[in-house]
Structure 1
Amino acid sequence: MAQHLWRRAIGYAVLGSLLACGAAQAEDRLRAIVAYQSQYFYAKTFATFVEKLNAAGKGVVQIQVVGGPEAIPPFEQADAVRTGVVDMLYAPGTYYLGLIPEADAVAASSITPMDARADGAFEILRKPFAAKMNVEILGVVPGGVPFNIFLKEEPKIGADGVPDLTGVKLRGSPTQRDFLTQVGATFVQIPLPETYTALERGVVDGMATPIVGVMDLGWDKFLKYRIEPGVFQTDNMIYVNLDKWNALSEESRKILKQIAEEQERESYDFAQEVIQNEKAALAERGMKAIELSTEGAEKYKRIAQDAIWGRLEKNDPTYYEELRSKLDR
């Protein structure tokens, strides 16, 4: 009897070891949601990240994109990743300023995401994003793409060299609200998929948006003028639900970090090339660039920067000084 029990115990131990080994080798899987329509430049950038990650993480960690704005409206996606409805989100942080005011610092940054990471700003940002949005930030993909104001009609330029957009209805995201109103525009917030129709029907007279993607979605059919220079920079980030992140294997987390950092660098460089190509293509299609004077451009950019940093200081000053000292140069 004792020998029988001993053999059973050995059998259970072996079985337990095999199960544990199988569990250790199980592939981690993350369900991702994207804020953009699939044909948009930024959605394609994230798709490249997913492709690279799935190749490098085969057998260890994989990402499945389960939908975009058609599945969950973009401004509701932060709650989806915060609560674990999805494991991963790719979206602009400034879509969710009510939840995470520190997202403003990413858009207001005047340095590259790689420099921000090397200088420690990224580590500062991780704290509020973890506490308020329940996410780990993997990277800014791509950074360095400025926002321009695009218009149907040629803009007025004030005596100070700054555009006077009084009475002009502009579509924008929460990022640009304060800036646009300070240059006289009427801010209009509408979902990205509805922008084409809004331009077509005259609901808006233009928009503040990165140059990359304007042709992808056909907006250049209506937009004929672009104010230069651009301001801010894109703040599209890859987030992972923090509970999911902590449950991943160490190897999975290592692969995710590595591929995200690679895509951060590569997408930045690629975006700079795309920007120049887009400008040339838009010029060929008849779009005119309105170049501000040197003095006007500096005032214009400072209005933009101060609008965002001032809003962050007002909404939550906890990390304001630390972030601005590193990111506003």
Structure 2
Amino acid sequence: MNARIPKTILALLAAAGLSGAACAQEVTLRLVSAFAENGIYVQRLLPWVHKVNAEGKGVLQINFIGGPKAIPPFEAGNAVKTGVVDMALNTGAFYTNVMPEADFLKLTQIPVAEQRRNGAFDAINKVWNEKANMQYLARMVENQPFHIYTNKKVDKPDLSGQKIRITPVYRDFFQALNANVITTPPGEVYTALERGVVDGYGWPIGGIFDLNWQEKTKYRIDPGFYDAEVSLVMNLPAYRRLTEPQRAYLHKQLLALEAENGFWVKYASDEVARQEKAGIQAIRFDAATAKAFRDKAYDIGWASAIKQSPEIAGRFKTLFSK
């Protein structure tokens, strides 16, 4: 286990009676979220958890322990790897400390359903199994491009002189745009904006209202780039301990979860309108500049991936691209 995870958290998990199996026929899986419980990702997930539990009595149950108050966002990946918890709702950008390849998932340009058909999903799991001791279960967020949000207006794709909060998702891209980058957990961004520690941040099109960042945000730069990846991952030994009926039941429910991903298209559109109403102004470039901006994001993203892990990135690029 990771010594950095507080003993009080481990005691909490043990006290919750989450030892793994309620009986020989039923297993209870411990689930945490790297995202806040009041945020859209968890709010979309919880009805699914309730459905799994209602339909899975005697087979499989999920015990949702909580969000970052249970385990810090950047420790959730390691908690899954080491078996402190069984599952996590997480994004690859938050567990690059476990495996740098986790960040490559932002570069997918095809739906998860197609990833399951064309071999991408199997390729992901081969790497996750070998390098992270994890099973990649399902992707529950799609069609959520990242954007640059800033309090300093620009007229071209140049962030010179700006301090921008990042995660590994867009570090290389933002640095190529001449930004000074700062890494902080999401929970610290509001205060950083308020105090002028940062001038802006990278974030998907949705979710800023969950964190009240709209109160401290003036501009959003269009177009978006990459695709926010939020997925369920599971400790590999825990996954392999499942019986065939338990695994089949979980897989059926995971596919049902992914089948609801159409929600995110309308959500993105609604968030654009909501941001405009809140006073966030869109900065839009001409068509040629916008295309060059987006192409640059992917060129830099893949160049970084290939530099970091040539064989895996090369395999993923073929499978992830349109």
**Given the alignment of the two structures, is residue 58 of structure 1 paired with residue 57 of structure 2, yes or no?**
yes
SS of the residue aligned with 1:33?
Answer: strand
* Offset from partner CA, 1:154-213 (integer Å, 9 cap, x none): 1231xxxxx111011111211110011011111111011111111111111111101211
**Structure 1 letter corresponding to 2:273:** A
Runs of 4+ displaced beyond 4 Å: 22-25
Whole-angstrom distance in 2 between the partners of 1:142 and 1:205: 27
Pick the aligned partner of 1:208 from 169, 177, 202.
202
CA distance in 2, matches of 1:174, 1:55: 37
Counterpart Cα distance in 1 of 2:248 and 2:286: 47
1:298-323 Cα shifts (integer Å, max 9, x gaps): 11111111222112211112222221
- The verdict on how the C-alpha distance between 1:304 and 1:48 changes in structure 2, with shifts beyond 3 A counting, is farther
Counterpart-to-counterpart distance in 1, 2:228 and 2:166: 13
**Change beyond 3 A, Cα 1:23–1:274:** closer
Q: Distance in 2 between matches of 1:169 and 1:313?
A: 27
User: In the alignment, residue 30 of structure 1 is paired with which amino acid?
Assistant: L
What's the counterpart of residue 293 of structure 1?
286
Partners of 1:297 and 1:23 lie apart in 2 by 54
Does residue 229 of structure 1 match 2:228? no
Q: Which residue type is aligned with residue 311 of structure 1?
A: S
For residue 255 of structure 2, what is the amino acid of its counterpart? E
| TM alignment of 1:122-133, pairs within 5 A | 122-133=121-132
Alpha-carbon separation, structure 2, partners of 1:145 and 1:164 = 23
Are residue 250 (structure 1) and residue 244 (structure 2) matched?
A: yes
Deviations 1:36-78 (A, max 9, x none): 1111111212223312222231221010011211121111111
Q: After superposition, give the CA deviation of every residue in 1:87-114 in whole Å (9 maximum; x if it has no partner).
A: 0011101222243232233101111122
- Counterpart-to-counterpart distance in 1, 2:23 and 2:62: 18
User: How far 1:291 sits from its partner (Å)?
Assistant: 1.6
Q: In 1, distance between residues paired with 2:22 and 2:80?
A: 25
Question: Does the 8 A contact of 1:97 with 1:104 survive in 2?
Answer: yes
Q: 1:219 aligns with which of 186, 191, 213?
A: 213
Once the two structures are superposed, what CA deviation does each residue of 1:230-288 show, in whole Å capped at 9, x if it has no partner?
Answer: 0011111101111111111211111211211221220x211111111111111112111
| Corresponding residue of 2:270 | 277
1:193 corresponds to which residue?
Answer: 187
Query: Is residue 321 of structure 1 aligned with residue 321 of structure 2?
Result: no
Cα distance change, pair 285–81 in 1 and its aligned pair in 2 (3 A): same
The question of 1:239 aligning with 2:249 is answered no
Seq. identity, %: 35
Equivalent residue letter for 1:155:
V
Which whole-Å CA distance do the structure 2 matches of 1:23 and 1:208 have between them? 42
Letter in 2 for 1:100: M
1:47 aligns with 2:46: yes
C-alpha contact (below 8 Å) 1:33/1:88 kept by paired residues: yes
- Matched residue of 1:132: which SS? helix
Segments of structure 1 that go 5 or more residues without pairing to the other structure are: 1-21, 158-162
Name the TM-score, length of structure 2 as normaliser: 0.90
Alpha carbons of structure 1 residues 23 and 43: separation in structure 2 relative to 1, 3 Å: closer
Question: Structure 1 residues 23 and 81, CA, compared in 2 at 3 Å: closer, same or farther?
Answer: closer
- Deviation track 1:96-149 (CA, whole Å, cap 9, x = no partner) reads 224323223310111112222221111101011011111111111112211011
Deviation at 1:292? 1.9
**Per the alignment, in what secondary structure is the counterpart of residue 64 of structure 1?**
strand
Task: Decide which of 259, 284, 294 is 1:265's aligned counterpart.
Answer: 259
**What secondary structure is seen at the aligned counterpart in 2 of 1:29?**
strand
**Alignment: residue pair count:** 302
- What TM-score results when the alignment is normalised by the length of structure 1? 0.88
Q: Which moved more, 1:84-93 or 1:290-299?
A: 290-299
Contact 2:135–2:239 (Cα < 8 Å) also in 1: yes
Which residue does the alignment assign to 1:77?
Answer: 76
CA offset at residue 24 of structure 1? 7.6
